[in-house]
Chains A and B, each alone.
Chain A
Amino acid sequence: MTDDLRAVLNKVQKPARYVGGEYNQIIKDKKDIDVRVAFCFPDTYEIGMSNLGMSILYKTMNSLPYVWCERVFAPWGDMYREMKERQLPLYGLESGDSLGDFDVIAFSVGYEMAYTTVLDMLDMSGIPYRREERNGLKNLVVAGGTISLNPAPMADFIDVFFVGEGEELDNEFLALYKEAKDNGLGKYEFLKKASQIRGVYVPALYDIEYNEDMTIKRFLPKEGAPFPVRKRVIEDLDSVPFPTDPIVPNTEVIHDRISLELFRGCFRGCRFCQAGFTYRPIRMKDSETLRRQGVEAVNSTGHNEITLLSLSTSDYCELEKLCDGLLKFCEERSVGLSLPSLRVDNFSIDLMEKVQKVRKSGLTFAVEGGSQRLRDAINKNVTEEEVMNSCRIAFEGGWNTIKLYYMLGLPTENDEDIRGIAEMSDKVQYTWRTYTRNRKRGLKITVSTSCFIPKPHTPFQWEKQVGMEEYLRKVNILRDSIKAKSVTYNWHDAETSVVEGILSRGDFRIGNVIESVFKKGGRLEAWFEYFDLNRWLEALDENGLSLDFYLFRDRAYEEVLPWDIIDVGVLKGFLITENKKAHRNELTGDCGERCLGCGAFTLTEGGYCYGKEKAALSKDR
């Protein structure tokens, strides 16, 4: 480390996040390495180091002997200013080498609000952020994660998008990169070849024709590039390496714990949920694999908490078996076990009691809609009776803190639905009064609402988003109708939702907007300290674009959508049917009993989806 950098580190807050050197970090000898990868997370160290995907792929890429993959995070404002002032470039935590020294610069981008930070991290390193300005094979910029579900807004900046799960894809790509580097291939030649790997989208290989109203007329693939680009998935989750020796941060991060991923995909099909549709097909991990990995990970990290991750934990096929297996170990070693996203409707008191032995946390119910009609319209398969039942069990079990999550601005929502939220809270309070074992301790209900943002690849991808004023009107209705004393109401502000909305469903013209915002100083915008809506509104204006086009219009089913280039495996026809049913307040249910034919099973070679398999089994019986 240079004295210059040391001097800076002495001045900034929490310098530990800028020095690497953690236990289990991977150090290699540069002379054995052909491909150096800078694995960038466009947010702070604390956030990035808590990200399971990052930890998995760090390990995956480093499993190739000729690759050395290092981590890079975005510095907080104080560090950023100091580095700029002294013209210190951004560097890899493992080697301390500047980003410019790396062959591949790989971004893991899980949320839209991180887009400007991607530009910023490149810029801090003296690497041009526009892809046309990067001519060589070196400093190739690739990105994966949620960003690839609609790559259009970032397509001016990223050379290659990885669509879907990276465990196999990343290494195939790196192998090809090595070959290209060995053979002295140019960037364009390499990109042509790379586009043939399944799951790779190379924006340079597509022309776009527009209609007069500036909607897209069609995509014109060149050089044999595929259309659409099909999502990559891992067929057998037990067979891919899982990092049981993740890096142990030397300083506090958001989640200081072991994360075990139970399964990928979701049975539920809530119509608003992007993850629910884009993580399909459903694939389970074996409970024995998970138990073993949990034990190994605790042993190799010294962490004292394990958390079970998935979109809805209670749907895991062997939850009891897994919990039994882990609880024994956890008790012996005083390791906590946490089970987030347990669902209201099949909430198991047994499980709750067992977990309680180790650690008791508050209860969170994602109800999403305030009336049965609305919940049917969004296919949130939960009835009020079920919620009250779960609450009763919880209150009898001694819980007295409940969090209820809702969305405002959902398609078909009316003011009655909103008042329904208040009514439901009243009923929760009543349930508590009836069933609690200890009235003196009091009850705390927290109601939270966020603004619904229609997302690509969901049945609501064609819907309007509500504006800020309308959202606030809805907030006020709810605020006025909440009477129960034990209720605290929190609402997320809608300013970020506007921007998230533009970026989620943005087209190829949004790249210029992102660039303008970055030039106006936009970075780390997922942090309210650094977010500024006005920059975005100005930038839209400067580029002659309007919120109306991106947020406030209904799209026709026939419209070619910017993200039609990406095929996540779910058929458009299926989404259209789901959309129509939403407008008829019709529930589809979930795929626990029968395969609904979403199409996602075709993504695996064997046409496998756990939901489909399970449905077939129950029919046989």
Chain B
Amino acid sequence: MEKKRLRFQKTGNIAFISHLDLMHTFSRAFSRAGLALKYSEGFNPRPVMSSPFPLSVGQESLCEILDITLKNDIPDDEIKEMLSSKLPEGIKITAVYDQTLKSSLVKWIGVQFRLKYKKAPDECENRIRALFDREEIVISKRTKSGALSDTDIKGNALFKSFEISEDSCLLNTYLSASDPTVNPVGVISAFEKYDPELVPEYYTVTRTELYDRDLNIFR
């Protein structure tokens, strides 16, 4: 059994397919590529395959993980080659290697916001920095039961950089991947709560990199 880690990008229109659909898409792609996955035991066998940090529909990523177990021993670059031509537009394999580190070691996700304003607010960068520097950043989140509950994301959402490009502003952040998970939407909610002018007319979200506790790039 070969436990492999695939790194892939999900960009463009395919950002609009759900996590579950993506898993189906992968399992068919493996089948097209002639790569046999190990199946789970039990009544309803499924391929052993996991992508630990599900992306929300509409968000793009340059740094996704797919952990799989292959039936046969196949060199990494061959796996990459076999699979690459079998994937739909927008999914690109960037690397294949052995699973050595547990994906639970990922603590931070680099998240880039492309904020689009009719007219960018004055002092935009400073105001955003100020927001991340607050003592507390409390946002309301809907719980599974549907009720609203407040959470403080301070310490789990960090400012990285800011730049103005063409028609929009690019805000780079580190958001906590787990315990707690900070959804990018939370950052926009914080804008709404503390400085509503910062809420863009439209925005997109792209994951750029995965990091461990100490902000070292995770492999």
* Chain A residues with a Cβ under 8 A of chain B: 1, 3, 6-7, 9-10, 14-16, 18-23, 25, 248, 250-252, 299-304
Contacts and interface: CB of A to CB of B under 8 A. Distances in A.
A19 B88 contact: no
A301 B87 CA distance: 10
Contact of A302 (B12, B27, B58): B27
B31 A16 contact: no
Nearest to A333: B31
Contact of A300 (B12, B13, B32, B90): B32
B21 A251 contact: yes
Contacts of A300: 32
A95 to B, nearest CB: 12
Nearest to A10: B58
Interface in B172-219: 202, 204
B88 A23 contact: yes
Given A10-B57, A21-B90, A248-B25, 8 more contacts: A9-B58, A10-B58, A15-B58, A16-B57, A248-B88, A250-B17, A299-B32, A302-B31
A22 B32 contact: no
20 contacts: A3-B116, A3-B202, A10-B57, A10-B58, A16-B21, A16-B57, A18-B16, A19-B14, A21-B13, A21-B14, A23-B28, A23-B86, A23-B88, A248-B28, A248-B88, A250-B17, A250-B21, A250-B25, A299-B32, A302-B31
Contacts of B116: 3
B89 interface: yes
A15 B57 contact: yes
Given A6-B202, A248-B88, A304 B14 contact: no
B28 A301 contact: yes
Interface of B: 12-14, 16-18, 21-22, 24-25, 27-32, 57-58, 86-90, 116, 202, 204
A269 to B, nearest CB: 41
A251 B88 contact: no
Contact of B16 (A3, A16, A299): A16
Contact of B13 (A1, A252, A301): A1
A3 B203 CA distance: 9
A280 to B, nearest CB: 37
B46 to A, nearest CB: 12
B48 to A, nearest CB: 15
Contacts of A22: 88-89
B28 A252 contact: no
Given A10-B58, A248-B88, A23 B29 contact: yes
Contacts of B25: 23, 248, 250
Contacts of B17: 16, 19, 250-251
Contacts of A15: 16, 57-58
A20 B86 CA distance: 16
Contacts of B27: 302
A15 B58 CA distance: 9
B14 A302 contact: no
A620 to B, nearest CB: 47
Contact of B14 (A18, A250, A301): A250
Contacts of B22: 250
Given A3-B202, A23-B88, A248-B88, A302 B29 contact: yes
A7 B25 CA distance: 24
Query: Nearest 8 CB-CB pairs, A to B?
Result: A302-B28, A302-B31, A19-B13, A15-B16, A302-B32, A21-B89, A16-B17, A23-B88
A18 B57 CA distance: 13
Nearest to A5: B13
Contacts of A6: 58, 202, 204
A1 to B, nearest CB: 6
A6 B90 CA distance: 15
Contacts of B89: 21-22, 25
Contacts of B57: 10, 15-16
Contacts of A14: 18
A248 B89 CA distance: 12
Contacts of A248: 25, 28, 88
B87 A23 contact: yes
B187 to A, nearest CB: 15
B121 to A, nearest CB: 18
A251 B18 contact: yes
B17 to A, nearest CB: 4
A251 to B, nearest CB: 5
Contacts of B29: 23, 302
A6 B57 CA distance: 11
Nearest to B25: A250
Nearest to A18: B16
B204 to A, nearest CB: 7
B32 A252 contact: no
Contacts of B18: 14, 16, 251
A25 B87 CA distance: 12
B169 to A, nearest CB: 14
Given A1-B13, A250-B25, A21 B32 contact: no
A252 B24 contact: yes
A21 B88 contact: yes
B16 A252 contact: no
B82 to A, nearest CB: 13
Contacts of A19: 13-14, 16-17
A100 B57 CA distance: 29
Nearest to B32: A302
B31 A9 contact: no
A1 B16 CA distance: 12
